[in-house]
Amino acid sequence: MSNKTMSTQSQIPLVDLRAQQQEVQQQVNESLAQIFENTAFIGGAAVADFEQSYASFLGSGHCVGVGNGTDALELALRASGIGPGDEVILPANTFIATAEAVSLTGATVVLVDVDTEYLLIDPLAVAEAVTEKTKAIMPVHLYGQTAFVEELSPIARACGAVIIEDAAQAQGATRHGRSAGTLGDIAGTSFYPGKNLGAAGDAGAVLTGDAQLAQQVRLLSAHGSRTKYVHEVVGRNSRMDAVQAVVLSAKLERLAGWNELRRQAAVRYSELLAGVAGVTLPQQAAGNQDVWHLYVVQVEERDRVVAELNAAGIGAGIHYPYPVHLTQAFAHLGYNEGDFPVTERAAGRILSLPLYPHITEEQQLRVADALIKVL
């Protein structure tokens, strides 16, 4: 037992959700008791309540709860009419799910590079990648930053494409005061447990200001049916369940506060690491209020640095070590090494430090000390 206590004290995980869970436990337990009492397990009032609260938290017109973030993106694409023969532009520096969602619709993934400073989709690269087949542009609000959607909008308008935001890492982030997930035509988000707003399992949502698009997503996510056994289109099953909805509702009440704690922790890292040779610190773009899903620094000899940090009990991570075009899954796209130099260079240098709302000052000091020593 003392060994276990010692090891939990000495380890600093990349993400620690226990304190978050404790804050909502009582409230969640009460809601769960009700769900099991009235056995409304899928959809129902709990899900509708969460959908409304989340839409109003973001300032979005409509929120449709679905099974997970990848489904949310795929349903957003399908509802927008994207399918075989269409091209969808997205950044090479993203989690694989953005590209998977496009492939699952039968559309073609077109990758572009990111900017050097924030590692977000590069609007100039998007403009160059547009063809007459381009039907959608998917900015990814990576690491808790909001991508520069206002620079993509004129490009989209000019070619008749829609903007589908991947807002999975930016819950509560804003750009010029507007929420990530409300800046394009439609957005998908994920409530995977480790996201800023995380469920107790898989869940996701589609957000849009367009009532008809929202209806279409709901239709597609529920077997193509509005009325039981009346199936208008071939849909699928991707619905949010009530258990996830009550967990999410309880956490949503605290999300702004937790995001603020993340922001403070990010500021603290930036102070602790200011002026340290060999490490490039993340910056917040002008106009953005980032929510620090991840605190991503860049270093030389990244693999050695990660290995030594991990050996010192620090849960450093890499988001993401393999750019989409260099994965086996997307080798068929035919891209080569060297095609997206900014993404590829970053993939060898990025390092995510432990960050979660309840990380302590003492833990951050230890992380910073360990990093400085390893460098």
Ligand X SMILES: *Cc1c(COP(=O)(O)O)cnc(C)c1O
Please provide residue 30's backbone torsions phi and psi, each rounded to the nearest 5 degrees. -65, -45
Q: How far is the CB of 85 from ligand X (least distance, A)?
A: 24
Q: Is 84 exposed, middle or buried (0-12, 13-18, 19+ CB in 10 A)?
A: exposed
Is 292 one of the binding residues for ligand X (CB under 6 A)?
no
- Selected binder of ligand X within 94, 182, 289, 352 (CB under 6 A): 94
Binding-site string for ligand X from residue 173 to residue 212, where x marks contact by CB under 6 A and - marks none: -----------------x-x---------x-x--------
According to the 3-state scheme, what is the secondary structure of 303-315?
HHHHHHHHHCCEC
Q: What's 45-83 look like in SS3?
A: HHHHHHHHHHHHHHCCCEEEEECCHHHHHHHHHHHCCCC
Nearer to ligand X among residue 72 and residue 368 (C-beta): 72
| Residue 98 in contact with ligand X, rule: CB under 6 A | yes
Among positions 148-177, residues that touch ligand X (CB under 6 A) are 166, 168-169
CB of 152 to ligand X, least distance (A): 16
Q: Is 140 in the site for ligand X (CB under 6 A)?
A: yes
Nearer to ligand X, 181 or 273 (CB): 181
d(CA 112, CA 92) in angstroms, rounded, equals: 6
List phi, psi (to 5°) of 220.
-65, -30
Count residues near ligand X (CB under 6 A). Answer: 15
Smaller CB separation from ligand X, 94 or 134: 94
CB of 20 to ligand X, least distance (A): 17
53-92 mask for ligand X (x: CB under 6 A)?
---------------xxx----------------------
Q: Which is nearer to ligand X, 86 or 202 (CB)?
A: 202
SS3 percent helix, strand, coil of the chain, rounded to 5, is 45, 20, 40
In the complex with ligand X, the residue whose CB is nearer, 251 or 370, is 251
Instruction: Give which of 313, 268, 271 is closest to 292, Cα–Cα.
Output: 268
Whole-number minimum distance, CB 264 to ligand X, in Å? 22
Give CA–CA dist 43/142, Å, rounded: 29
Site for ligand X contains 350 (CB under 6 A):
no
Of 46, 63, 79, 97, which one interacts with ligand X (CB under 6 A)?
97
Among 50, 54, 95, 292, binds ligand X (CB under 6 A): 95
Between 118 and 371, whose beta carbon lies closer to ligand X? Answer: 118
CB of 117 vs ligand X, minimal distance in Å = 19
Of 94 and 179, nearer to ligand X (C-beta) is 94
- How many Cβ atoms sit within 10 Å of the Cβ of residue 283? 12
> What is the residue type of 363?
Q
In b/e form, how buried is each residue of 322-351, taking b as 16+ CB within 10 angstroms?
A: ebbbbeeebeebebeeebbebbbebbebbb
Residue 168: DSSP 8-state: T
Cβ at position 109, least distance to ligand X in Å: 14
Query: What does the DSSP assignment read for 180-226?
Result: TTSSSSEEEEE--TTSSS--SS--EEEEES-HHHHHHHHHHHBTTEE
Applying CB under 6 A, the residues found at the interface with ligand X are 68-70, 94-95, 97-98, 140, 166, 168-169, 190, 192, 202, 204
